Structures are given as C-alpha cells and as structure tokens.
Structure 1
Amino acid sequence: MGWSTKQIPSLRGRRALVTGANSGLGLQTALELARAGAHVTLACRDAGRADGAVATIRDQVPDADLEVRALDLASLASVRALAEALDGEGAPLDLLINNAGVMATPERRTADGFEQQLGTNHLGHFALTGLLLERLKAAPAPRVVTVSSGLHRIGRIDLDDLNWERRGYKRWGAYGQSKLANLLFARELQRRADAGDLALRSAAAHPGYSATHLQTAGPGQGGGVGDRLNALVGRVGNVLLATSDAYGAQPTLYAATHPEVSGGAYVGPTRLGQNRGPIGEVPSTRAGHDREVARRLWERSEQLTGVAFGLPAAEPVAG
C-alpha cells in the first residue's frame, strides 16, 4: 500500500496558503488541506474562479475554513500587496504551497518586464516566499513546497539571459528553465534555512503527467495553426495518457504533510518514468542538484525582484 491523502494528519490550528488554488492541482491541494482541518488561503488571480473553487471545496467539506486573496504572480506589485496584508495581520504561516504556473506560452512579458514563464513560475514565487518569510518563521514547523515538473529535464538555466532577451525564444525551453528554477530554488532555500538555523523545511514536488488546463491554456495561446495543434495534442493527452488532478496533487500534499520528507526533497510518482505508482521521493537530473547554479540563480533572483531573504549562503561543497 502506498501513501494516500487519508494519511494526512490533522492540520487543525495550522494555516496554509496555496497559489493558483482556483483549479487543477491547486484546487485539489486546497481541498485536501481543508479536509484535514487547515485554514486555507486560496491565492488566485481570478476572483470569480476562486469563489467557484470555494464552493467546490465546501460541497465536499461544508465546514472548510477558507479565505480568498488576490494574487497575480506576474506582477511584483500584486505579490507585495498580498504579502504586506498578511504580514500586517501577524498570523503565522505553517504551509506555503507555490503551485500556480503557466506552461509553454508565446513570448510575453510580465508587468515587470520578465519573460512570462520565468516571471510567473519562478520569480513571482521567489518574491512571495521571501516576503512571507517572517510569517513562516513565526510558525513552529513551517514548510514551503514548490511545484516543479518532470520537464525540468529539458531546462537549462542561462544566467546571462534568464529573460530570453538575446536568445531566440523557445516556449518549451522557457518552460523547462522555469521548472528547473523551481527545483533549484526549493533546494537552495533549504540550504539557506539550514545555514540560518531556521526550523523550515523546503521541498519540491511534481505531478507527473496530470490532466489540468495547463496542457491546453498556454500551448493554445497565439492563435496560429501550430498553437491550435499544440492545444489539441494537450487535450488528447489529457484524455488518453494523463492521471487525474487529484492524483497529480498527491506529491504536493505528501511533501507538505508527510512527517519524514527530507529537506530539499523532490517528490513525485515513483513508477513508469515518474508518471504513475506510489508517491515518494524521486531523483532529478544532475542540473537539479547544481549548487553553484542554484546559488547564482538565487542571487540573480534577489536582484531582479528586489526581495532579499536575509539568509546566509550555505558553505560551498569541498573539492
């Protein structure tokens, strides 16, 4: 028997924030955290869809303790506004689930001029985590889970051109870079938390190939024949190959709640190329363990976002 959401311990008295909780993996994650008794903040860009998600959760968990907050990860002003509101309220934050994302979009820029996928998937979450660090530190055993992807395997961190300003833009290459950045961030956060003697556990998770709107929303943008073909392939794949979003959320929930998750772990399905089977800690590419690139990416992310965590860098590995 593998792990299941029935093994999530009681989370009563704990507070969680899930980005992109209005649909897909985020909605399923928020649902199960609420079922376990947590106070769950659904941090979403679309208020109408967030209200729909609240109704969906309360259909299954009538006494769910929920609130909705506005968050657009493609805008640092929005990220700061949410963090400042929560910081002003002073409540501890036990679980931060960095889930929201975009996939394989046409070349676009965020409100701050970042390449859209890097800006939304990585830099927005990087800034949010840093700005909520004091709320996390106020909790007795905080966790941060950042959702990466098996497609981190195609990613390459180009520190000289993170925002695709000199390279010819490749939508899947940009997605892979952003997901590799998510994984490196999760591991570097753990190293810096350890160096700063914080009782914080950071982990990354990936869903395998799970049926969500990501497979069609981003690839279908642009309006061209190729865009429509990409969206069609995504729809067919969701029907024939993908697991459910409920299953796809299990690695995130495992990373957020399992008592024995290692700091810096990467959690996902353990069989069939990390697409099926029991949930557990899984290997990543060598690039996903590159401490020097992770350190430099962290420093560059602080420069780009203007958010400094105030955490010491880990000692370099000898030899």
Structure 2
Amino acid sequence: MIHALDALLDRTILPGYTRAGYHLRKICWAGEDPAPGALRGRTALVTGAGSGIGAAMATRLAALGAVTVLAVRDLGRGERTRHQIRTAVPGADIRLVRCDVAEPDSIDACADALSAEFRTLDILVHNAGVLPVERAENSRGHELTLATHVLGPLRLTDRLVPLLGGSGDARIVFVASGGMYAQPLPIQDPEYRRGEYHGATAYARSKRIQVAVTPLLDQRLADHGVSVHAMHPGWVRTPGLTASLPRFSSALRPALRTAGQGADTAVWLTATTPAPMSGHFWHDRHIRPEHYLPRTRYSEEHLLSIWQYCRGAAGMRAA
C-alpha cells in the first residue's frame, strides 16, 4: 500500500513534488535519518551554496559534522551565508571558495585552491543553477545552462578526482529537476542554437543531460571509490524560482516545498549508511524512473554521443 501510494504521488507530479508529497513520504522514513555526527571527519563541497537549496544543504551537512565548503560566484553573499550557517550550527567549520561553474578558468582556480587546502574531499554536490531569459554563452562559447549544469560540473569533478579518490567513499550528487521528464536528449543541438530559445526548455534539457550521464560518470569513477547520484528536489520555493518563473511560483506558492525539504534527499544520499545504490536518479529517498514519456527515450548510441560531446566540451582529461 505504501509503495503504491509513493508511485502514485510520483506519477501524478502535482501532489508528489509539493510539500504534501514530502510530508506523506516522510512518514515512511521513521528511523532512517542519518545519525547525529554522521559526517564528522568528512569534507563536503556544495556549489551554488549562497542561497536556496544550496544553503539549506550546506547547513544540514554542517549540522551532521562535515567541514563544509561553500562554492559561490559572489563571495559577499557567500560570507553572509557562512555567518547564517554558523549561527544556526554553532561551532560549524564553514569554508568559502569562489567558483563560477560556468567558467573553466574559475573552475580550475577553485580546484587548485581546494587541492592546496585539503587532502581529501568526501562529498561534492553539484547544485549551482541558472535559468536565463535569453540565450547566453560562457567565455568559451557554450550555452549557459549547458555550461552551468553539465560542462562545469564535469570539469570540476574531473579536476577534483585526486581529492575524491583519497576519500575511500566519496559521493557526488547532481541536483537535477523533474522538469527533465518533458525533454529528450538534445542529440542534434546540445548548445540550443536552433529554433526559438526558451530558458525553461534549456534548463530542462540540460537537466536531462545531467541525469543521462550520471551512470556513465559513475562507471568512470568507480575504480577511484567514488559514487555518483542524481536527484530532484521537487518544487521548492527559492529566490531563483521566484525570479525565473514568477507566475509558476505565485500560483503554487502555498504548495511549494521549503529549501530544507528540497535539500533532504541530497543530504541523505551523502550521509546515509550503507551507501545507496549509485548511478541512479532519486527523489524523496527512492530511485525514480528516468522516463515517463516514450519520446524522451534514447539509444545507447545517442547517449554515448552526448557523453563524448560533453566530455570534450568540458575539457575532461582522458580516463
């Protein structure tokens, strides 16, 4: 009965992605929360940690004992968030590093700074996101949502493999979106150069790519003792959602999840024991299907094609 209700919530979307779905599922999680201090002695990096879900994740990770690094574009905002987390979690060890995940040079500088400060990295949460109104590119000519959600995270992961490999149980989490269910892999046009540009479509397309390449990155890093997961947080009330989709945010305002509720599964994936199955797509602590519409399915050939494109565009080193 419980599993049937969970599946119904997932497929009907509206109740499942809202705070109602979170509370209904939480009833089944009694006794499954990570133990107090579960991350003591471990180091976590969260991108886009200056506000919203990223800040909520960082707060929860710090509360579980992790040395928590906030990777942000705006150091001023990051400093304010660090102060807020230290207020909420007295004694928390919160570090700050600048990282614009859309820009390769910034990523490399971030990785160098982390390598100089830490010997290992146990948790890497790829949370930074963007939803542009008009098509934009990074300094290397890559469409901004692709650069932010796919190319940047792949490059940052690649540069941090030595630190991640030193953990013995490193966990990477991509914060994706349920919006990807409506989009197929953009095999012929990953940079969204054709047709009329829509920011929400670009966002969902890049999130589809995130989820699609998760098992391939997981396979690539398995020999390093690194596991890779993707998850979506449901519909969460954040400053980014309000600014990017004001009508959607206003219409669903009473039903939207809090940032803490949206952060739950990502934190659980990093802190629960035994380690959850890697290479999968999660929502509310359960593995979810990656497709509900036949038109979004793709062949192995197409998946490998987009993987090779993204690896090259990200500047990943040879395996």
TM-score, scaled to structure 1 = 0.84
**Judging changes above 3 Å, is the alpha-carbon distance between structure 1 residues 149 and 75 closer, same or farther for their aligned structure 2 residues?**
same
Counterpart check, 1:265 vs 2:283: no
**C-alpha distance in 2, partners of 1:160/1:71?**
30
Is the 1:155–1:175 contact (alpha carbons within 8 Å) kept by the matching residues of 2? no
Is the 1:94–1:139 contact (alpha carbons within 8 Å) kept by the matching residues of 2? yes
Q: Secondary structure at the match of 2:28?
A: coil
Q: Which sections of structure 2, spanning at least 5 residues, go unmatched?
A: 1-26
Percent of paired sites with the same residue:
30
Is the 1:5–1:253 contact (alpha carbons within 8 Å) kept by the matching residues of 2? no
Residue among 268, 275, 282 paired with 1:254: 268
Is the 1:184–1:289 contact (alpha carbons within 8 Å) kept by the matching residues of 2? no
Q: Which residue of 2 aligns with 1:245?
A: 259
**C-alpha distance in 1, partners of 2:136/2:32?**
41
Amino acid aligned to 2:218? Q
Counterpart check, 1:77 vs 2:92: no
**Judging changes above 3 Å, is the alpha-carbon distance between structure 1 residues 122 and 39 closer, same or farther for their aligned structure 2 residues?**
same
Is the 1:190–1:264 contact (alpha carbons within 8 Å) kept by the matching residues of 2? yes
Q: Which residue of 2 aligns with 1:302?
A: 311
Q: Secondary structure at the match of 1:285?
A: coil
Is the 2:33–2:268 contact (alpha carbons within 8 Å) kept by the matching residues of 1? no
Counterpart check, 1:285 vs 2:294: no
Counterpart check, 1:141 vs 2:169: yes
Q: Which residue of 2 aligns with 1:66?
A: 94
TM-score, scaled to structure 2 = 0.84
Amino acid aligned to 1:40? T
**Judging changes above 3 Å, is the alpha-carbon distance between structure 1 residues 289 and 61 closer, same or farther for their aligned structure 2 residues?**
farther
Give the number of equivalent residue pairs.
287
Q: Which residue of 1 aligns with 2:124?
A: 96
**C-alpha distance in 2, partners of 1:56/1:294?**
41
**Judging changes above 3 Å, is the alpha-carbon distance between structure 1 residues 12 and 5 closer, same or farther for their aligned structure 2 residues?**
farther
Q: Which residue of 2 aligns with 1:181?
A: 209
| Cα deviation 1:152-190 (Å, max 9, x = unaligned) | 112222233211223332222211111011112222111
What is the Cα deviation at residue 38 of structure 1?
0.5
Is the 1:24–1:245 contact (alpha carbons within 8 Å) kept by the matching residues of 2? yes
**C-alpha distance in 2, partners of 1:13/1:65?**
11
**Judging changes above 3 Å, is the alpha-carbon distance between structure 1 residues 139 and 53 closer, same or farther for their aligned structure 2 residues?**
same
What is the Cα deviation at residue 103 of structure 1?
2.5
Q: Secondary structure at the match of 2:129?
A: coil
Is the 1:118–1:163 contact (alpha carbons within 8 Å) kept by the matching residues of 2? yes
**C-alpha distance in 1, partners of 2:203/2:232?**
14
**C-alpha distance in 1, partners of 2:299/2:172?**
20
What RMSD over aligned residues (CA atoms) do the two structures have, in Å? 2.1
Is the 2:185–2:298 contact (alpha carbons within 8 Å) kept by the matching residues of 1? no
What is the Cα deviation at residue 305 of structure 1?
2.1
Q: Secondary structure at the match of 1:7?
A: coil
**C-alpha distance in 1, partners of 2:313/2:259?**
33
**C-alpha distance in 2, partners of 1:178/1:153?**
11
Q: Which deviates the most, 139-148 or 258-267?
A: 258-267
**C-alpha distance in 2, partners of 1:236/1:51?**
33
